Amino acid sequence: MGNYLAKRLLLIIPTLLGVAAVVFVIMRVIPGDVALLILGGDQAGHIDKAQLAAMHHQLGLDQPLLTQFGVWLWGVAHFDFGTSLWTGRPVIEELVGRLPLSLELAILATIVSVLLAIPFGVLAAARRDTWIDYLIRVVSIGGLAIPSFWVGILIILLLVIYFGWGPPLEYTPPWIDPWANFQQMVWPVVTVGYRYAAVTTRMTRSTLLEVLGDDYIRTAWAKGLRERAVVVRHALRNAMLPVITLIGTEFAFFFGGPVVTETVFTLNGVGRFVVDAVAHRDYPVVQALVFLIAFGFVIVNLVIDLTYAWLDPRIRYR
């Protein structure tokens, strides 16, 4: 077990380095000069070459790429993700300010989806090919198919047009003012949660079906166990692993932020911030964020893999 763990940990490093490098390169390749943007504002302004050069120097953009990359990596090793080129404030500060909202959205959506998905997934699998199964499948495919930003737009419109109601415009953490928080978060959570629930329901259903086809389940049936015992106690437990994997990875991806949902619902979250940063060519922010998401993703994967390995000895010795 220890060997396996060590091997996996070692493999993380090149992955993370690779992610860092890819982000770095992509950001530099996109046309558009952040210095020009900063100097020019969002309309045509007066810029002279000397000012532009000075700004480049100030932002450290005139150094060779490899140096810039090295400097950044060194900073990351010290948890210093640099300063935003656009706002001049440390990237960490910018991210930390937005994290509570994204985290809350992620956690609430996950809870909602798990509460819906597991029971419905089980039901659909247990009643395969009946109208219950069809209904659940149709509704969950709907969650995947309907664009979440469209749902968001429609919700806001309906609320405004028929009730003259709009959500609060700034984030208040739930421990300060739970009602305001609820008002702001309920619709985004519903929108994102529906989609999340849909994916998880389908996954639950299909893994459960696979497991239900296995030999040991046949044995359980043959033994005369009741349906609930078979399905819930035996099959479900084994089916949970891939489902938990899915929940974990989807959760990790939340820090990419449900970008479009955040835009539609005016949430000052991490996702919108990244899109903004790409638009402004704010390299440190994009690099930091993508790196952190990748890091989270990798860690989640590692934990899941370790869990698998712990549960299934065959994997350790591969």
Q: Which of residues 212-251 bind other proteins (CB under 8 A)?
A: 213-214
Task: Report the nearest approach of other proteins to the CB of residue 178 (Å).
Answer: 18
Dist CA 203 CA 197 (whole Å) = 10
Q: How far apart are CA 209 and CA 124, in angstroms?
A: 9
Determine the size of the site formed for other proteins (CB under 8 A). Answer: 96
CB nearer other proteins, residue 234 or residue 281: 281
The reply to whether 138 sits near other proteins by the rule CB under 8 A is yes
Among 3, 10, 41, 227, binds other proteins (CB under 8 A): 41
Helices (H) and strands (E) in the chain, counts: 15, 0
**Nearest to other proteins of 145, 311 (CB atom):** 145
Instruction: Please identify, using beta-carbon distances, which residue of 5 and 153 lies nearer to other proteins.
Output: 153
Stretch that binds other proteins, among 65-73, 84-92, 104-112, 224-232 (CB under 8 A): 84-92
Does residue 174 touch other proteins according to CB under 8 A?
Answer: no
What is the footprint of other proteins within residues 97-136 (CB under 8 A)?
Answer: 97-98, 128-129, 134
With respect to other proteins, which residue has the nearer C-beta, 40 or 60?
A: 40
**Shortest Å, Cβ 153 to other proteins:** 5
Question: What is d(CA 197, CA 189) in angstroms, rounded to the nearest whole number?
Answer: 11
Secondary structure (DSSP) of 78-98: TT---B-TTT-SBHHHHHHHH
CA dist list (Å): 298 to 13, 16, 91, 253: 10, 8, 22, 11
Amino acid present at 132: I
- 292 is written with which tokens? 């952190």
* 190 binding other proteins? (CB under 8 A): no
CA distances from 169 to 89, 140, 184 (A): 23, 31, 8
Which residues, 266 to 305, sit near other proteins by CB under 8 A? 266, 268, 272-276, 278-281, 286, 290, 293-294, 297-298
Contacting other proteins (CB under 8 A), which of 142, 186, 216, 310? 142
Contacting residue, 4, 33, 61, 180, with other proteins by CB under 8 A? 33
Instruction: Count Cβ neighbours within 10 Å for each residue of 140-177 and write b for 16 or more, e otherwise.
Output: beebeeeebbebbeebbeeeeeeeeeebeeebbeeeee
Please select the residue that binds other proteins; options are 4, 5, 8, 39, rule is CB under 8 A.
39
